[in-house]
Amino acid sequence: MNLLEVRSIYKTYGSGEATVKALQDVSFTVPKGEFVAVVGESGSGKSTLLNIMGALDVPTSGKVLIDGKDIYQMKDKELTIFRRRNIGFIFQAFNLIPELTVEQNIIFPMLLDYQKPDKNYLEELLSALELKARRSHLPSQLSGGQQQRVAIGRALFTRPSLVLADEPTGNLDSQNSHEVIALLKETSRKYAQTIVMITHNRSIAHAADRVLQVSDGVLTDFGRCFQ
């Protein structure tokens, strides 16, 4: 079963001679539980694609279906709630709230949705992320790798059907980068998470189940990786 379906996405900026074709007829599907990497150089259109999949940007034309639901047919309020409950975001810059502890940052999306946090699941995540001993620390008291693990925990805590990771290792050194990618692979399998990761690092990309490439707005599917 396909969790994500991207159908004939076009994204154009400007008009006339200033027209920029950021995405051109991009189509692909991602089955539930697959870990997909999207590679491409800066300006290739890969981040635009991620933003459109996450309903942070609107395509010029085309459709994005998540769990069978056409997200761009939803009203604004409906889309906001759907995104909050069904899409988890992991950003390169971590985007943690500096005044909140590790635990508070992880459960924050659930509180934002006026839902009661699942304490058992929180303990399970803290253990899997190796953050139990740091649960009361502030982001400023953590290493870059630890901050990214908190960001991963925050993205997973609402049990979203889709996790979108934008250059999740961009601000990390080599060791922390490999640890974060290994963690994403583990969580993808353990929690049946569907993950789409944007990266310019091809060696990082090949840790995924499948690699897609965006070049000048055109997508190529390189198929499954054999590891």
Residue with tokens 């897609």: 212
Pairwise CA distance, residues 26 & 96, whole Å: 32
CB atoms < 10 A from the CB of 50, how many? 21
> Do residues 85 and 160 touch, judged by C-beta distance below 8 A?
yes
Pairwise CA distance, residues 90 & 152, whole Å: 6
Pairwise CA distance, residues 22 & 99, whole Å: 37
- Cβ neighbours of residue 43 closer than 8 Å, sequence gap 6 or more: none
Structure tokens at 115: 């839902």
Structure tokens at 7: 């159908």
What are the domain boundaries of the chain?
31-60+85-224
pLDDT of residue 221: 87
> Do residues 125 and 117 touch, judged by C-beta distance below 8 A?
no
Pairwise CA distance, residues 224 & 188, whole Å: 16
> Do residues 212 and 221 touch, judged by C-beta distance below 8 A?
yes
pLDDT of residue 226: 45
Angle (CA) 21-219-2 rounded to 5° is 120
pLDDT of residue 21: 92
Closest CA to 87 of 117, 113, 126, 114: 113
Structure tokens at 69: 């639901």
CATH of domain 31-60+85-224: 3.40.50.300
Bridge partners, residue 2, by sequence: 31
| Predicted confidence pLDDT, tens digits, the chain (227 residues) | 899 999 999 999 988 888 899 999 999 999 999 999 999 988 899 999 999 999 999 999 999 999 999 999 999 999 999 999 999 999 888 999 999 999 999 999 999 888 899 999 999 999 989 999 999 999 999 999 999 999 999 999 999 999 999 999 888 888 888 888 988 888 888 888 899 999 988 888 988 999 999 999 999 988 765 44
- Cβ neighbours of residue 52 closer than 8 Å, sequence gap 6 or more: 9, 11, 23, 58, 59, 64
CB atoms < 10 A from the CB of 203, how many? 11
pLDDT of residue 225: 56
- What SS3 class is residue 131? coil
Distance of CA 137 to the CA centre of its chain: 25
